[in-house]
Amino acid sequence: MTSDIHVDVRNLSFNRGDRMIYDGLNVSFPRGKVTAIMGPSGTGKTTLLRLIGGQLRAEKGEGEVLVDGKDVGLMARNDLLALRRDKMGMLFQTSGLFTDLNVFENVAFPLRVHTKLPEDMIRDLVLMKLEAVGLRGARDMQPAELSGGMIRRVALARSIAMDPELIMYDEPFTGLDPISMGMIVRLIRGLNKALGLTSLLVSHDVDESCAIADYLCILSGGKVIGFGSPEELKNEGNDEVKQFLTGDPDGPVPFHYPANDYRQDLLGSSK
């Protein structure tokens, strides 16, 4: 029986050097839904995606990251690679296209590396993925000829080439104009519905994330401070959650970094 929980993070602690990123983090991401992972800068949102994908691993005894019930941190290398290949897709913040390959070859790359499909089937699959993102007609173009929005859409086509069950997006809206951003928003929502994906989306764009997410996961201080639908958190979230969603400079999260009294500092610097 398939669980309703696709990714389950249990009592996760993680540090970078002396800096604490997560302190007993517990959060579950439901299957078949879009969940936006949000929070102030430096709270470890991208780090969480890397832990789920196995690029980073917590030390033994510092919690679990379960994907389909299997602890990613304990997987052997070959098992982890198989999980990424067969079950996961990733849209990187930089898109990560191969600059010396055209659009078609970029999308075909994972199919050629990870499968033994005949070339005519690969061709059909690539054209289907490009059609899904509206770029079938751009198959022969080079990445240098594409706009920022087109590059992001090609990267999205490549990330779904292997028909993953889980897809992770790292800042998919960064650097896009409003039209391109609107296209990506519709694509993420549409693909999630059409393909039955579980989508985890890291973003600082509150309006766009709220427009497509079934749930918001707000991180701060190494823990989850809010999890629920956008409407629930806007209306019933705590003060810190509401401050983040509204962008209010006055609230639990201060604008000023802790410092000595301003007047004393000025007087002291004039001596």
Instruction: Please compute, for residue 28, the number of CA atoms within 13 A of its CA located in the half-sphere on the CB side.
Output: 8
What residue spans define the domains of the chain? 5-269
Tell me how far CA of residue 14 lies from CA of 50, 73, 74, 169, in angstroms: 12, 12, 15, 21
pLDDT per residue, tens digit, the chain (271 aa), is 567 999 999 999 998 878 889 989 999 999 999 999 998 888 889 999 999 999 998 877 789 999 999 999 899 999 999 999 889 998 887 778 999 999 999 999 999 999 999 999 999 999 999 998 889 999 999 999 998 889 989 999 999 999 999 999 998 888 778 888 888 888 888 888 888 899 999 988 888 888 899 999 999 888 999 999 999 998 887 888 888 887 766 666 655 666 788 788 888 754 4
User: 3-state secondary structure string, 184-237?
Assistant: HHHHHHHHHHHHCCEEEEECCCHHHHHHHCCEEEEEECCEEEEEECHHHHHHHC
Instruction: Please compute, for residue 82, the number of CA atoms within 13 A of its CA located in the half-sphere on the CB side.
Output: 6
Instruction: With beta carbons less than 8 A apart as the criterion, state whether 75 and 83 touch.
Output: yes
Amino acid at the residue 158: R
Q: Report the topology of domain 5-269.
A: Rossmann fold (3.40.50)
Q: How far is CA 212 from the centre of its chain?
A: 13
Is 143 strand, coil or helix? helix
Specify the pLDDT at position 264. 81
For 134, the enclosing helix (H) or strand (E) is: none
Q: Record the tokens describing residue 160, joined without a space.
A: 């779904």
Specify the pLDDT at position 271. 46
Specify the pLDDT at position 221. 86
Specify the pLDDT at position 60. 74
Residue 13 burial (10 A CB sphere; 0-12, 13-18, 19+): middle
